[in-house]
Structure 1
Amino acid sequence: MITVHHLNDSRSQRVLWLLEELGLPYEVKRYQRDAKTRLAPPELKAIHPLGKSPVLDDGDVRVAETGAIIEYLLETHPGSGLRPEAGTEAGRRFTYWLHYAEGSAMTPLLLKLIFGVIPDRVPFLARGVARGISKAMNAHMIDPQIAAHTALWEAELTRSAWFAGDAFSAADIMMSFPIEAGGSRVAYGPDKPRLKAFLQTIHARPAYKRALERGGPYSYA
């Protein structure tokens, strides 16, 4: 039996979604973030040295990192139609977006989150300075990067309905988290109609809804 070590409001929601799309039986072991720090609980360090989620157990096999888990599930359960054929244009796009989602996309979003909480985490007398630094970092470095990335996503969805082509794939599952997180950091306006439509479409998928039921509250949906 597959077991997913699942942290609320995290990347691991995508693993539950993929398992639902594949129609595989699985168990969920839930972990809750600290209400104040938003950090994962120490219990996760017993599962993985970094104390991060997701981690998937499949019998004697343990896999960490969302992209690696998705590749593992697609390799061990072929024929799902969720991975385009290797060597094709769709296959190359699939590989790019699968790795880009955690490689390039999440860095500015994580920085946005960190600099957003810094002013509240420093001593009171230093908060004014911290707010000034955070504001400058957002204005001159972080926000322009997020704008560039979201423009790339919008442009890609102009090429085709999905990130790897005309068919839904696991690349769309991988891209769901940065797009959801991006929408929570910087609301998508009228210049991002395809991103807004993408979110509406994936949130309406039956497998996505079932994954939410299994995973519990998920702020980004």
Structure 2
Amino acid sequence: MLTVHHLNNSRSQRVLWLLEELGLEYQILRYQRDAKTMLAPPELKRIHPLGKSPVVVDGSAVLAESGAIIEYLVEKYGNGRLVPAAGTPEKLRYTYFMHYAEGSMMAPLLMKLVFDRVESSPGPFFVRRIARAIAQRVKGTYIQPQVSTHLDYLEAELGKHHWFAGNEFSAADIQMSFPLEAAAARAGLDASRPQLQAFLARIHARPAYQRALERGGPYELLR
């Protein structure tokens, strides 16, 4: 049976969602982030040297990186589901968005998270004041414009197609869910971008998504 090493409020939630979409049996081993640092516990390093989640164990295979896990599961267990046919424009879009989600979209979102914490972190008054000024400048001049550029781009793409690879739901939509939920939670994705809001509403309504939430537990990105 597949085993998912699942960290709360992490990318592993979308792996659970994929497993539910595919109707596969799996077990979950849960890990909790440190309440202060928000880092994964050291126990995860016993499973994979980087100590991050998701990690999926399938027999002797130990798989990390959510994109690689998703591609592995779809290829091995999908029987043609959730991936467009080879050689089609949809397959090209599928491959692009599978890599875009982490390769391009998550970088400015992660930077925003880091600089938000710098801005709100405690410390001596003068140090805190300087740190906040630097954080605000970096966010205002670089990070938020980058986030807005990406959101505008994705809004336009979903104006062309119902889903990211085309008009059919695919694993690329599962991969894209995490950065868009992160953007909605902390980077200004709101009703001003109706196509992206509609995408989030569609995925949240999927029965497999809801089952994954029930099994994975509280998912703070939705707040």
Report TM bin, short chain: over 0.9
1:122 Cα shift?
5.9
1:78 Cα shift?
3.4
Residue number in structure 1 paired with 2:124: 124
User: 2: distance between equivalents of 1:204 and 1:186?
Assistant: 22
SS of match in other structure, 1:104: helix
1:4 Cα shift?
0.4
Structure 2, unpaired ranges of 5+: none
The aligned length equals: 221
User: 2: distance between equivalents of 1:185 and 1:78?
Assistant: 33
Which shifted more, 116-125 or 37-46? 116-125
Q: Is the 8 A contact 2:116 2:135 kept in 1?
A: yes
Matched residue type, 1:144: P
User: 2: distance between equivalents of 1:67 and 1:184?
Assistant: 21
Which shifted more, 115-124 or 165-174? 115-124
User: 2: distance between equivalents of 1:190 and 1:21?
Assistant: 28
User: 2: distance between equivalents of 1:120 and 1:220?
Assistant: 19
Match runs of 1:141-152 below 5 Å: 141-152=142-153
1:218 Cα shift?
0.2
Q: Is the 8 A contact 2:9 2:220 kept in 1?
A: yes
User: 1: distance between equivalents of 2:69 and 2:87?
Assistant: 22
Match runs of 1:167-206 below 5 Å: 167-206=168-207
Q: Is the 8 A contact 1:122 1:130 kept in 2?
A: no
Residue number in structure 2 paired with 1:137: 138
Q: CA RMSD in A?
A: 1.1
Matched residue type, 1:33: R
Matched residue type, 1:106: M
Match runs of 1:13-162 below 5 Å: 13-121=13-121, 123-125=123-125, 126-162=127-163
Give the TM-score, by structure 2 length: 0.96
CA deviations on 1:55-104 (whole Å, 9 max, x unpaired) are 00001111100010011101111324200012110000000000110100
Matched residue type, 1:141: Y
1:152 Cα shift?
1.0
User: 2: distance between equivalents of 1:43 and 1:7?
Assistant: 11
1:204 Cα shift?
0.7
User: 2: distance between equivalents of 1:61 and 1:190?
Assistant: 42
User: 2: distance between equivalents of 1:79 and 1:35?
Assistant: 40
User: 1: distance between equivalents of 2:150 and 2:191?
Assistant: 16
Q: Is the 8 A contact 1:22 1:80 kept in 2?
A: no
1:121 Cα shift?
4.0
